[in-house]
Amino acid sequence: MKELSVKEKMIFGNLKDDSVKALLSLNDNLKIESVLMVYRDWITACVSVMVGCPLGCKFCATGKMGFQRNLSSKEIVDQIAFWNNYLQPMKKRVSRLVFMGMGEPFLNWNETQKAIAEISIPGKFNISYQQMTVSTVGIIPEMYKFADLKSKINLAISLHSPFQEKREQIIPIAKKYPLTELMRFCGHYVKLNNRKIFFEYALIDKFNDTFEDIFAIKKLFGSSLFHLNVIVLNPTGGKYKGSGMGRRETFVRALEKYKIPFTIRRSLGKEINAACGQLVTQTAQPSRPEEQNLN
């Protein structure tokens, strides 16, 4: 078996609980985290592209680590190989892939693109472009390059507020790449590719969960190919808190009323700090797949 560039330090959680997180050591002893999410019909790997992240989004634990370095394409690919080795005792494998772990893919696009090319080699991992999703906060110059590829890879954009001023408060890079330019790109992308764009929207209590936000989203969404992925903000120890059940239900009913295309996303891995925005290197008690049961 080929030696991997990522090595297990700790495993968090159990497959029977729908998610597992791995603390992985690199050859220079830096650490990253990678997550496995188990659904009824498939298994998704959430991979990292950086050690830490330079963007400092206010609701994301990874940003608090700061940025140490980009991952190589091999270190990205080897996260999938690691998870397939982990799943092998149960005769399971990774079947979908999201670039939503540590780091911003479009700030390490050369290595991420190399990794995607290797992952998609027929017969290697059996993960097609359509089964991959690249997530970004909106690094617009690289996004135009991505659009020009006319790839079948899914694109997800961290929106989190339909207002420029509020978006700047939680996503500092939005000052450099404003919402007007981001939405101009989105119009270009759907015209060029005729593919859906997924907008990630973490509900933050009394910050982005009001009727005013609904009306602004409705105005922003100028294409039937724009789709909102709604999830309640996961706890990260910062000042922002997730919306309560009542506010969430009111928000969802308003989305339905105003016919805004949306999906309510399940939040897997909160208990092991493996959910969206929670990845930050730490330690936990090990748990091996031989002790677990997917049924």
C-alpha atoms less than 13 angstroms from C-alpha of 195 in its C-beta half-sphere: 19
Number of helices (H), then strands (E), belonging to the chain: the values are: 7, 12
Q: What is the pLDDT of residue 15?
A: 82
Q: Which amino acid is at 276?
A: C
Tell me the Cα Rg of the chain: 19
Query: Average pLDDT for residues 169-198, to the nearest whole number?
Result: 98
Q: What is the pLDDT of residue 42?
A: 95
User: Whole-angstrom distance between the N-terminal and C-terminal Cα of the chain?
Assistant: 29
Q: Which two tokens stand for residue 53?
A: 């992240």
- Pick the closest to residue 61 from 24, 103, 93 (CA basis): 103
How far apart are the C-alpha atoms of 19 and 40, rounded to whole Å? Answer: 12
| Res. 290 pLDDT band, cuts 50 70 90 | very low
How far apart are the C-alpha atoms of 51 and 70, rounded to whole Å? Answer: 6
User: What DSSP element (H or E) covers 295?
Assistant: none
Q: What is the pLDDT of residue 1?
A: 58
How far apart are the C-alpha atoms of 209 and 232, rounded to whole Å? Answer: 10
How far apart are the C-alpha atoms of 19 and 39, rounded to whole Å? Answer: 9
C-alpha atoms less than 13 angstroms from C-alpha of 79 in its C-beta half-sphere: 34
Task: List active site positions.
Answer: 33, 276
DSSP single-letter state for residue 222: -
Task: Return the exposure string of 13-28: e unless at least 16 CB atoms fall within 10 Å of the residue's CB, then b.
Answer: bbbeebbbbbbbbbee
Q: What is the pLDDT of residue 268?
A: 52
pTM above 0.75, yes or no: yes
| Res. 273 pLDDT band, cuts 50 70 90 | very low
38 strand-pairing partners: 43
The CA-based diameter of the chain, rounded to the nearest angstrom, is 56
Q: Which domains does the chain have, with CATH numbers?
A: 1-136 (3.20.20.70), 163-271 (3.20.20.70)
Query: Average pLDDT for residues 47-57, to the nearest whole number?
Result: 95
For residues 39 and 12, is the Cβ–Cβ distance under 8 A?
Answer: no
Residue 247 pLDDT greater than 60, yes or no: yes
Residue with tokens 């929670």: 278
Residue 43 pLDDT greater than 80, yes or no: yes
Q: Which two tokens stand for residue 3?
A: 């030696």
| Res. 2 pLDDT band, cuts 50 70 90 | confident
52 strand-pairing partners: 67
Q: Which amino acid is at 31?
A: K
Q: Which two tokens stand for residue 219?
A: 């105005």
How far apart are the C-alpha atoms of 261 and 169, rounded to whole Å? Answer: 26
How far apart are the C-alpha atoms of 162 and 46, rounded to whole Å? Answer: 26
Average pLDDT value for the chain: 90
pLDDT, greater one: 281 or 192? 192
Q: What is the pLDDT of residue 288?
A: 39
How far apart are the C-alpha atoms of 257 and 242, rounded to whole Å? Answer: 23
Residue 277 pLDDT greater than 70, yes or no: no
Convert the pLDDT of each residue in 84-134 to its tens digit: 999 999 999 999 999 999 999 999 999 999 999 999 999 999 999 999 999
Residue 254 pLDDT greater than 70, yes or no: yes
| Res. 274 pLDDT band, cuts 50 70 90 | very low
Query: Average pLDDT for residues 143-162, to the nearest whole number?
Result: 97
* Percentage of residues in the chain having pLDDT higher than 70: 89
- What Å distances lie between residue 243 and 74, 168, 219, 250, CA to CA? 39, 20, 23, 11
Query: Average pLDDT for residues 193-220, to the nearest whole number?
Result: 97
Q: What is the pLDDT of residue 291?
A: 35
